[in-house]
Structure 1
Amino acid sequence: MDFWEVLKVVVRRWVVTVPLVLATGAVAVLLPPTIDPSYSASISAVVITPIDNQNPANPFLALGPVTMAASLAGSGDSGAAVESAVQAGVSPTFTVNQQNSRSPIVTAEVQAATPELAVATAEFVRTALTEQLQAQQDAVSAPPEAQYYLQDLTGPVAPVPVYEGAQRVRFLAIGIGLLLTVVVAMAIEGIAVLRARRRDAAHGLSGDERERLAIIEEREALLVERERLLRARELEHSRRTGAPTDAPAQEQWRRGRFSTEVPQRRAGETDESGGGTAASVATKPR
């Protein structure tokens, strides 16, 4: 059975499938308020070149702030950083990125179960990035006045609720509801076919005879629908024109309407049916 046959079954069993689809939509709409959201916060900072940017004691000065920002973005959300967040009691769900490949700006996005935890996690990430940048330069014994440093651009503002979990549950509910609708429609169709076969078997009908009977029943249903449409059209026509709906009354109404619509001939014109002029039948004006 292909997709179109399944669709026909679903449409044919609309008495059951329509309520199920409506129920699925209602459940999907009512789900988000019942699921607690997560909260998102973000920070951004820029890598600043020191005043003493020609000091040979710091070999990182030759790389430039863009490269240092890329280094922070590459290791800021590594496994070690996530483990440190867990040990610090903040959310381990965060990402660190470079704003673009030519920018010295580093951004971080965090998610947590509460707004307070989201802010605490953002502050932890900012501190961790600052310490990581300093540790890289301390490892080569670079003097403090010749070290890159981070300057905050935006701090953790008011966290925003995120309903990603609710959206996933909503889509899952819609999928399960639609699948259940199809299964129920196919089950009802299968039961109906099984009953029809048992009934036909009780009357001694063969497989070919059952197919012909099904075709006849389908044609009869189409004829009934045709009669219904014609009847509806007649009623609409009667409503607009005032014509009766029964056949004898319609015939009488047409004759009376025709007799009132025959145009009078001008005087001197010959009657095509048997001679004579219009003057012989026209009434004289008073």
Structure 2
Amino acid sequence: MDVWRITLAALRRWYILLPLLALTGWGAWTAGNGIQPEYEAQATIMLTPGTAATEVPNPYGGLEEANQAVGIVLNSTESRAQIVEQGLSTEYEVVPESRSTIMYFTVRADDPETAVTTGVALIDMVEAELTARQSAAEVPSSSQYGIDVLAPPSVLEAIYDGKLRVQAIIGILGASVALVVAVLFDDIVGLVRRRRRRRKARADELVDSAEEARTDDGAERANEVDPAEGVTTEVPSRVPREPDRPDAEVRSSRDTSPVGERS
């Protein structure tokens, strides 16, 4: 079935399509209102070098390499598990800027307090990661890389992506189901009508055949063949009746006939 036929079927069954679309709209609106918005918090830090020089090599290499390495650690499964243990949101993203010492944090949570707390916990994890790895390499604390918080975690806006996403999904699915139901109903109605027309046509054919059979049978009976003479004798359907004549007229006709004929 092509698009044009589907469109015509939907237009013919508008009394089914429109109520289903209205029900879909109501369901999408209700479901969207039941979803709470998410709150997004952002933060920015910068890695800084140590204050004293040292001959001990840093395990991270340079500051840019340390920035990329710490970003990988915070985005790992182990770090997210630690966030879960603290009861915070795992919907965060750590993005170290390429060829730079700047790192960006983005956190989403159901409430602003959780979003901010998760951002603070991620910054603490950066400090802990830097200290643990450099201390294990015996880098003096005065020579270790540190961090400088350029923008502390703060909620910027409420995000309604989840609400819009749910409404869009319900709307698309509901509209598709409404269209399918309308087209199927149109096909069923068309099938029933075609069957009725075929039955009526067969009944008319049977009636016509019966009438033709009766007509042919009457014609055969009217044209009977005499087996003795082999001549077809047409038997009239109605024998004309001779009109009645008075007895006096009959007698007078007999009296006026010739004598030889009377004898």
3-state secondary structure, aligned to 2:155:
coil
Report the AA paired with residue 41 of structure 2.
A
- Counterpart of 1:116 in structure 2 is 113
Report the AA paired with residue 88 of structure 2.
V
C-alpha displacement of 1:9:
1.6
| Partner of residue 186 from structure 2, selected from 173, 185, 189 | 189
Alpha-carbon separation, structure 2, partners of 1:119 and 1:48 = 23
Alpha-carbon separation, structure 2, partners of 1:11 and 1:103 = 60
For residues 68-217 of structure 1, the aligned pairs below 5 Å read 68-99=66-97, 101-158=98-155, 160-204=157-201
3-state secondary structure, aligned to 1:110:
strand
3-state secondary structure, aligned to 1:156:
strand
Structure number with larger C-alpha Rg: 2
C-alpha displacement of 1:27:
3.8
3-state secondary structure, aligned to 1:57:
coil
Alpha-carbon separation, structure 2, partners of 1:172 and 1:79 = 30
Alpha-carbon separation, structure 2, partners of 1:128 and 1:32 = 36
- Counterpart of 1:243 in structure 2 is none
Residues 1:36 and 2:36 are matched in the alignment: yes
C-alpha displacement of 1:189:
0.5
For each residue in 1:79-117, what CA deviation from the matched residue of structure 2 results, as whole angstroms up to 9, or x when unmatched? 111111122222222221113x11211111122222211
C-alpha displacement of 1:121:
0.9
Alpha-carbon separation, structure 2, partners of 1:47 and 1:60 = 15
Report the AA paired with residue 134 of structure 2.
Q
Alpha-carbon separation, structure 1, partners of 2:202 and 2:147 = 87
C-alpha displacement of 1:123:
0.8
Alpha-carbon separation, structure 2, partners of 1:92 and 1:177 = 32
Alpha-carbon separation, structure 1, partners of 2:4 and 2:71 = 51
Contact 2:49 2:145 in 1 (8 A): yes
3-state secondary structure, aligned to 1:28:
helix
Residues 1:67 and 2:65 are matched in the alignment: yes
Alpha-carbon separation, structure 2, partners of 1:30 and 1:120 = 31
Contact 1:115 1:159 in 2 (8 A): no
Alpha-carbon separation, structure 2, partners of 1:66 and 1:59 = 12
Alpha-carbon separation, structure 1, partners of 2:57 and 2:43 = 27
Report the AA paired with residue 105 of structure 2.
A
Aligned CA-pair RMSD: 2.2
- Counterpart of 2:245 in structure 1 is none
C-alpha displacement of 1:134:
1.5
3-state secondary structure, aligned to 2:51:
coil
3-state secondary structure, aligned to 2:168:
helix
Alpha-carbon separation, structure 2, partners of 1:158 and 1:168 = 22
Alpha-carbon separation, structure 2, partners of 1:59 and 1:187 = 71
C-alpha displacement of 1:23:
4.0
- Counterpart of 1:265 in structure 2 is none
- Counterpart of 1:18 in structure 2 is 18
3-state secondary structure, aligned to 2:16:
helix
- Counterpart of 2:9 in structure 1 is 9
3-state secondary structure, aligned to 1:157:
strand
Change over 3 Å in CA distance of 1:89–1:34 after alignment to 2: closer
Select the structure with the greater relative contact order (CA < 8 A; seq sep ≥ 6). 2
- Counterpart of 2:54 in structure 1 is 55
Q: TM-score, length-normalised on structure 2?
A: 0.70
Contact 2:42 2:155 in 1 (8 A): no
Alpha-carbon separation, structure 2, partners of 1:40 and 1:91 = 11
Report the AA paired with residue 5 of structure 1.
R
Report the AA paired with residue 3 of structure 1.
V
C-alpha displacement of 1:26:
4.5
Structure 2 unpaired stretches of 5+: 204-263
Alpha-carbon separation, structure 2, partners of 1:78 and 1:7 = 51
C-alpha displacement of 1:60:
4.4
When structure 1 is superposed on structure 2, of 34-43 and 135-144 the one drifting more is: 34-43
